[in-house]
């Protein structure tokens, strides 16, 4: 990962001047370096900035800050071309600028002091960049994406996610459909540019299964699904009329949340939701399917989803009632479980395709172009996701019969 050429001391000085409303602010020292390594993030460029500066009356205040700058793939024309139809950078900037502050205000109406999101200090629409507080200074860190998350971690995520979902439904109700224009999730009516990522990775899974005698029958079904896959995903992402739809996070997994831990017990105390590039208006169940099937440890994924769904449902419906939601009937637990079943294709997608990328430990060619490409380099990268990862191989033995029994490997679903 490299740092943007425009991200300089002068740039950060202007950002901080605007933030503090102090034209005389001066930076004394600054360090700029990549925040993540190769294969840790595919959604943009993350840069860590440590800065010391003076401001206030005659520079009387000295402050040190650690900040994160998130920006687009400026130098990579292929990545920009693939991402452009999804409008992920403008969407995330707008969400941080215009939506998340309103969701926080709604929680304050019912005296809920939970902090759901990181604070954006500056939104740069020209460069498609966001400057955030560095949550690590407050003790927040990412969990291990390879180890994945246990029940304590997941309960924290689900409580915050439920409150985000509920407040977004309220905001959309009060502001007459203001969030329904967020319609560019992973599957959407505007573009299928990510087809080369999703479908080709699915085919790599099938090629691996062909070589496993006990799983070869599933390979045949997956190959048959190839021309229908994006259409099935698009139907899955359509909002359900007459039910509570929300602004879904769209990409909830281990690396898109940050935890604070008890120093002695090492148990998680709090979580902050980050990264809203793929947020969309639709069923809240899609976020649960994605989170469970990318980030839950085994055997909790196999045995604990019903209990976790009930926990989420409690916080979701409680928050809706507190804020007097009236647009649709607030779902009972049974009705919400039916909705989970209606949207379970996204569980298959998240488990068989997305998790294979997220649990990859081989950094060879682990970049956005390999995800999106059709050349030999891309094909080899996708093959390695299944051929070289025993964890994914073991998961497939359980997941494929489960999804097959649910009818999710059928063209007609």
Residues 292 and 197 in one domain: yes
d(CA 149, CA 291): 10
Other CB atoms within 10 A of residue 413 CB: 15
114 and 29, same domain (yes or no): no
The residues, any chain, with a CB within 8 Å of residue 235's CB and separated by 6 or more, are: none
Q: Count how many domains the chain has.
A: 2
SS3 state at 7? coil
What is the token pair recorded at 119? 């604070």
Domain, as residue range, for 239 = 83-119+145-406
Q: What pLDDT, on the 0 to 100 scale, is given for residue 332? A: 98
Q: Identify whether residues 25 and 103 lie together within a single domain.
A: no
76 domain-assigned: no
In this predicted structure, what is the pLDDT of residue 84? Answer: 76
Q: How far lies 3's CA from each of 72, 137, 199, in Å?
A: 11, 21, 31
Q: Are residues 258 and 389 in the same domain?
A: yes
| Residues in the chain where the model's pLDDT stays below 70 | 1, 36-43, 73-80, 82-83
pLDDT of amino acid 39: 47
Residue 124 lies in a domain: no
Element (H, E) at 17: helix 9-20
CA angle 385-390-395, nearest 5°?
90
In a domain, 330, yes or no: yes
Specify whether 295 is located in the same domain as 200.
yes
Tokens of 285: 């169940």
Give the C-alpha separation, 312 to 161, whole Å: 8
Question: Domain check: are 365 and 397 in the same one?
Answer: yes
Give the three-state DSSP class for 1.
coil
Q: What is the pLDDT of residue 80?
A: 61
Please, are residues 398 and 335 in contact by the beta-carbon 8 Å criterion? no
Q: In this predicted structure, what is the pLDDT of residue 43?
A: 56
| 52 and 89 part of one domain | no
């Amino acid at each position: 990962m490299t740092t943007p050429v425009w991200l300089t001391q002068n740039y950060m000085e202007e950002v901080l001047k605007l933030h503090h409303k102090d034209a005389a602010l001066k930076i004394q020292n600054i360090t700029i370096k990549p925040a993540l390594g190769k294969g840790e993030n595919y959604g943009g460029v993350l840069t860590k900035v440590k800065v010391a500066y003076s401001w206030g009356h005659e520079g009387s205040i000295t402050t040190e800050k650690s900040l994160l700058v998130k920006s687009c793939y400026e130098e990579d024309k292929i990545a920009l071309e693939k991402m452009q139809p999804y409008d992920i950078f403008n969407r995330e900037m707008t969400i941080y600028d215009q939506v998340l502050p309103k969701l926080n205000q709604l929680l304050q109406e019912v005296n809920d002091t939970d902090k759901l999101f990181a604070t954006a200090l500056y939104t740069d629409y020209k460069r498609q960049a966001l400057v955030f507080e560095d949550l690590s200074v407050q003790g927040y860190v990412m969990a291990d994406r390879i180890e994945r998350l246990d029940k304590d971690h997941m309960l924290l995520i689900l409580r915050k996610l439920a409150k985000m979902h509920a407040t977004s439904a309220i905001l959309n109700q009060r502001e007459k459909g203001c969030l329904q224009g967020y319609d560019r999730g992973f599957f959407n009516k505007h573009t299928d540019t990510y087809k080369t990522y999703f479908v080709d990775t699915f085919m790599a899974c099938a090629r691996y299964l062909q070589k496993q005698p006990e799983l070869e029958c599933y390979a045949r079904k997956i190959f048959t699904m190839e021309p229908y896959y994006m259409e099935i995903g698009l139907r899955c992402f359509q909002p359900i009329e007459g039910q509570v739809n929300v602004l879904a996070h769209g990409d909830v997994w281990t690396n898109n949340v940050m935890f604070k831990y008890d120093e002695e017990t090492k148990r998680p105390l709090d979580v902050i939701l980050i990264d809203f590039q793929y947020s969309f208006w639709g069923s809240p169940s899609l976020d649960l399917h994605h989170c469970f099937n990318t980030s839950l440890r085994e055997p909790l994924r196999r045995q604990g989803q019903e209990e976790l769904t009930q926990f989420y449902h409690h916080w979701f419906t409680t928050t809706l009632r507190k804020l007097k939601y009236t647009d649709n009937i607030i779902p009972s637990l049974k009705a919400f479980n039916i909705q989970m079943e209606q949207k379970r294709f996204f569980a298959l997608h998240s488990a068989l395709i997305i998790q294979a990328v997220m649990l990859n430990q081989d950094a060879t060619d682990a970049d956005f172009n390999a995800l999106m490409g059709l050349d030999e380099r891309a094909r080899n990268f996708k093959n390695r996701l299944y051929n070289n990862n025993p964890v994914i191989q073991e998961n497939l033995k359980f997941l494929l019969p489960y999804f097959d029994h649910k009818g999710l490997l059928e063209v007609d679903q």
